[in-house]
Each structure stands twice: as C-alpha cells, then as structure tokens.
Amino acid sequence: MANRHTIILMQTSQNRATRTFMDYESISQAMDGICSLYERKLKDLNPAIRNITYDIADLYNFIDGLADLSALVYDHSIQAYLPYDRQWIKQRTFQHLKKLAVH
C-alpha cells in the first residue's frame, strides 16, 4: 500500500465551486493531508487557543460535514486508479492516526 499515488477529491459545501483536489505520493500522506485540513479549520475557528486537541469523532464529523469526499488510489497491478469512498477514508485516517500514536 505504500507509495501509491493518491488523489483526494473534495467538495467543502453544496456550492460546486468549492470542488477541489489534492494529490499525494502515498495513502499515508493523503491521510495526513486530510488531518491537516481539519487542524487548519480548528485553528481558524479558535485563533486564541495555542494547543488544540481533537479526537477521532471530531475528525469524523469534519469528514462527514464535507459535501463530498473520495479518494483515487493508483494500483500498479492494473495501472489505473481505484475509487474509494468517505467510509474508506475514515477507516484509513483512523489507522494512520493509530500508527502515529504508537511511534
């Protein structure tokens, strides 16, 4: 699963103009990117707080609050991108954060 180019497709609100994408060299970097987006939003909402903490439920609420979110992950064996949904992204962010907590 490492080093699989990943494209995150995202729409932050019902307005189609908020559609965007981010691409990463790996699934792990993509999950980092989603966490960073949430952390940036928290900082914007709470500029006076220096150390902001959150739990996985907060991150899931952020992910669920997006109008649309999906991932395209490159599969070398078929030389194509495979689509993954919001649930998969939630599972992968959880696994990613668990790995970070262990180190």
Is residue 68 a part of any domain in this protein? yes
Please indicate, yes or no, if residue 86 is contained in any of the structural domains: yes
Report residue 19 as tokens.
């559609």
Looking at the 3D structure of the chain, how many domains does it have? Answer: 1
pTM listed for this prediction: 0.89
* In a domain? residue 64: yes
CB 101 within 8 A of CB 36: no
Report the CATH number that the domain containing residue 49 is assigned in CATH.
3.30.2260.10
pLDDT at site 3: 83
Q: Is 10 part of any domain?
A: yes
Q: Is residue 1 part of a domain?
A: no
Q: Give the model confidence (pLDDT) of 9-38 as tens digits.
A: 999 999 999 999 999 999 999 999 999 999
Q: pLDDT digit string (tens) for 33-88? A: 999 999 999 999 999 988 888 999 999 999 999 999 999 999 999 999 999 999 99
The residue with tokens 């609050």 is: 65
In terms of DSSP bridges, do strands 6-11 and 80-84 run parallel, antiparallel, or are they unpaired? Answer: unpaired
